[in-house]
Each structure stands twice: as C-alpha cells, then as structure tokens.
Structure 1
C-alpha cells in the first residue's frame, strides 16, 4: 500500500488503535471484485471471503456499500456465507445496495428496500431513442429495479460514447426528477436523496462507531469519501482508501492510501487485521 502523505500514515496508526470500534466500509466493483465487461460476471476476488471473516474478528463491523442491487451483490460475492461465518464469531456483515436504498445484514437476512422511484418507467421508455440519437444504441442497459444503469464498456469507443451520453442522460433524468451517478464506463440514473454518504452516516449512528475506513474506486464513491472526511474533521479516526487502476484514478487525490485494485485492497485489510490483533495481544 502507498500512503499519500505522512498524515495518511498517522491516520492508519490511529485507526489501528480503535480497530475494535471501527466500521470498515467497502465498495463492491473495483474494490472487492475486479471490473469486467459483463457486470453479471463480476465475482468477488477469490480471497475476499477469508479476508473479510478475519477482518471481522478485529473490527466492530464490515459494511459493503454498493450501487448494485443487494441481492445481486450477495450472490456475486457469496456474502451470505461470509455473513454466516462472521456471525458465528459474534460480528455482523452489513450490505447497503443501490447506494443505500436497500439493506441486508447477517442478522436480518431479508433485503429491505423501497418501491421504484416515480418517473423511472417513463425514463426507461424514452431511453432507447436517446441512445440511438447519440450513436450508442448498442450500449448495455441494466435494469436494477430501483435504478437504470447504462454501460458503455462494450462499445467500440467507450470513453467517447460515455462523453456523448452523459449530458443527454442528465437532461432526460432531470425531466423525470431523477439524478445521475456517473461511474467507470457506466451512467446510473436513480431517485434523488440517498447515496453512499448517507449509508456511511447511517451505520456510524446505528452502531455508535468510533472509527471508519472506506475503500472506493470511482466517482460513485465520492459522497462516501466526503462523509468519512467529515467524520475525520469531527475528530473520529478515519482512513480513505482508493483502489486505483490504469482506467480510473478519480479518488487518488482524496485518499490517505492508494492500492492497486481488489488485490491491493485485500492486502491492506490483511495488514489492518494483523496490526489490530498484535495491538490487542
């Protein structure tokens, strides 16, 4: 892992000292699972389950905070099995899906979420015409139930298609009282109000956390970064981790630690687990 400053090293050391009171928040894609062309094939890193269970023994809780539907993340990550193993050790795994609109935990194993937002069906009805107009008719459209994600990764020039689509989808979303969340070769449209920063603050309040680590990889994690930074400004030990790649480095300038993709995230979590255990020994 690479600290971005001496302050980052100090923040890590402070977090280790309060590990037993710390919540570790993790995005799914790009953090626990590698980015792939087919979102339905983004399975969790093969070592992640073991690492999360070991980490869970040293921290207050682990929370996966993702834009994916909760059930999809559970299945792709094998997270129900991870939650069972953590529960056997007396700790909890939390999952916030669709930017916090859906919730699941290893204690309450039912996905809880609201109805689809008003205007989403009308947005979807108009979407094909907009895609054709900007020569992106072959973009992959993912219906998430509470949101719609338009993926440009499979198109011949993904970056150019993304740039053409973004302003068009922002305008269409605004007409239907929806918001746009740009990510890594994906533009997601959903209801306003809930985002990953809200999920961070919710779990901190519910668990009375004394520390927070969040690892993210793209602009969809910006609100979570901002929420954790505010917690740090208020005196809580925090650590911001950017999972970087050749394709996406949007969070590097905001992070305390930069790691190379999911494998790097897991290396950091193993180190945190070891350091926290040594301090408690």
Structure 2
C-alpha cells in the first residue's frame, strides 16, 4: 500500500453508513454540516468545568475546515456565551459563520453578529436553583459534590468526590424525583446530573439546524450520554436519505455512544487531528 499524499491521514469509518457519510461530505462539502459537542470532544474533561478550554489545535483546525463546508456548529449543554469564551471562537478569521447552539439549542450565538439569543429561564429551573443546596444536604450528598449554575439548567457534579461513581448513583433517583416535581428532566452525563426543561436536547437542535441549512450530509461528534439524541437525529436523517457520519470522542465512561458510532477517536486531541485531516482533504 502506498503512503498517503496528505500530511494528516484521514481515518476510515468502521461502518458502511459512516463511510457513505464521509464520502458524501468529501464529494459535496459545500452542502455539509459539521456539528461538534464541546466538553470531551473539542475540550478535555476536567474536574472543574470552569477550567475547561478548547484543545489548542481546535480553533486552527475549525478555521481551516469552516470555509470548505456549509456550516460548522458547536452543539453544547453549556450556555452559548460560555462555550464561545472557553472555545476562543469569537473574532477568528475563517470562523465568520460559526454557530454555537448552547443549552441544547435553547440559546444560539452567531459569529456573524457576535450576539447570543436566549429565552427566559424555565420557572422550574429557578425553583430548583433555590431548593437544590438544602436538598443535597437532606439526602446526605457526598463531600465534594458541587452545583454548577448553567442559566437554563442546573447541574450536580460528583467527579470531585472520593467515590464519584457511587455518589453519582446515590443521587440519580433523588434528583430525578426533584426534577419531575418541578416539571424538569434529569440528564445524566459523565459524573454529572443535569436538571433542565423538557424538549431541550441536542437531537432536536441538530435536526432543526440541518433543516435550516438545507444540508445534504452531516457529521456529528460527541462523547457523552447527552449526545445520544444527536446520534439518533443523524440516524433518522440517514433513514431519510441524508448521509451522516457519527464520531465518538473515545470514552470508557460512555460505551453506549461508542457502540453506535461509525468512527471512534481517543479524545479531543484525536478529534482535532481528524478535523485537520478533513480540512486538508477538502
């Protein structure tokens, strides 16, 4: 086998559907949407989410890729403005039309305007925000458990506890009951339990964005349980004749995503290399 003429070899998906999706993207990049999760995909997972930052190579790779495709979008559970700051996405040449869909699509930041469109908070989130500290004390939450304020949602993290998985499992049912009482849903993730309004998920956000752009192929990359709805949306698009590629930013914590992915990459550094290779190919 001869060597690749490209500096960054492009890995091949392991499934026929994934290979078809990648081929469609390469054949008509100007009709393709590339959508990416942030934490765990473009940024490493860290103990303190406020310290998360995009991989150093992420913005350069996206700036090379974005002009070649119809759109690049970051789809995240974070507030859109936070993802923009932590990603370093604002004012970057080449990312003029980047869109960040924050809070699972409830918020939107467009690079072309530099503004965030955001709805009023759900009343259940406001109520839970006030109740949660006392609630955690009442259920004997483990030392090291902490609350992250997310504007349109609120999250409880267990990664800093002495036994993160045990703390996560102990809180899952009580927090599900609390969410239900206030008209919210509980979204489990990688050592985090998020309480947020129903009808907000990455699948809805991605499907609506693909319809808006009129894309004829789509790539989605994620790493966590919150990305499963986006995977399902791409699978539905594929059944409707829109080719798609599903990429899992490798995690032994979330095997459900890896089992459904067309391409497994071992974390954000590998995702960035893949994006650079894709930009080079296009």
Relative to the length of structure 1, the TM-score reads: 0.92
User: Is the contact made by 2:18 and 2:244 (CA closer than 8 Å) also made in structure 1?
Assistant: no
CA distance in 2, matches of 1:230, 1:24: 16
Alpha-carbon offset, residue 251 of structure 1: 0.5
Q: Provide Cα deviations, 1:88-127, integer angstroms capped at 9, x if missing partner.
A: xxxx100001111100111121111111101222212332
SS of the counterpart of 2:183?
Answer: coil
SS of the counterpart of 2:166?
Answer: helix
SS of the counterpart of 1:163?
Answer: helix
User: Is the contact made by 1:64 and 1:95 (CA closer than 8 Å) also made in structure 2?
Assistant: yes
Alpha-carbon offset, residue 188 of structure 1: 0.8
SS of the counterpart of 1:241?
Answer: strand
Alpha-carbon offset, residue 137 of structure 1: 5.2
Alpha-carbon offset, residue 6 of structure 1: 4.2
Residue matched to 1:212? 218
Residue matched to 1:113? 118
CA distance in 2, matches of 1:146, 1:164: 24
User: Is the contact made by 2:21 and 2:217 (CA closer than 8 Å) also made in structure 1?
Assistant: no
CA distance in 2, matches of 1:167, 1:246: 23
Residue matched to 1:279? none
Alignment of 1:89-104 (within 5 A): 92-104=97-109
Residue matched to 2:247? 241
SS of the counterpart of 1:198?
Answer: helix
CA distance in 1, matches of 2:238, 2:272: 23
User: Is the contact made by 1:130 and 1:168 (CA closer than 8 Å) also made in structure 2?
Assistant: no
1:192 to 181, 198, 209: 198
RMSD: 1.5
1:56 to 61, 66, 91: 66
User: Is the contact made by 2:19 and 2:245 (CA closer than 8 Å) also made in structure 1?
Assistant: no
Residue matched to 1:131? 136
CA distance in 1, matches of 2:158, 2:188: 11
Residue matched to 1:85? 94
Alpha-carbon offset, residue 61 of structure 1: 0.8
Structure 1 unmatched ranges of 5 or more:
277-281
Aligned residues: 271
Distance change >3 Å, CA 137–CA 119, structure 1 → 2 = farther
Q: Provide Cα deviations, 1:110-165, integer angstroms capped at 9, x if missing partner.
A: 11111110122221233223322143353110111111011110011000000011
CA distance in 1, matches of 2:12, 2:187: 28
Distance change >3 Å, CA 42–CA 64, structure 1 → 2 = same
2:267 maps to 1:257: no
CA distance in 1, matches of 2:184, 2:17: 38
User: Is the contact made by 1:150 and 1:187 (CA closer than 8 Å) also made in structure 2?
Assistant: yes
CA distance in 2, matches of 1:215, 1:32: 9
User: Is the contact made by 1:2 and 1:259 (CA closer than 8 Å) also made in structure 2?
Assistant: no
Relative to the length of structure 2, the TM-score reads: 0.92
2:237 to 225, 231, 235: 231
2:47 maps to 1:41: no
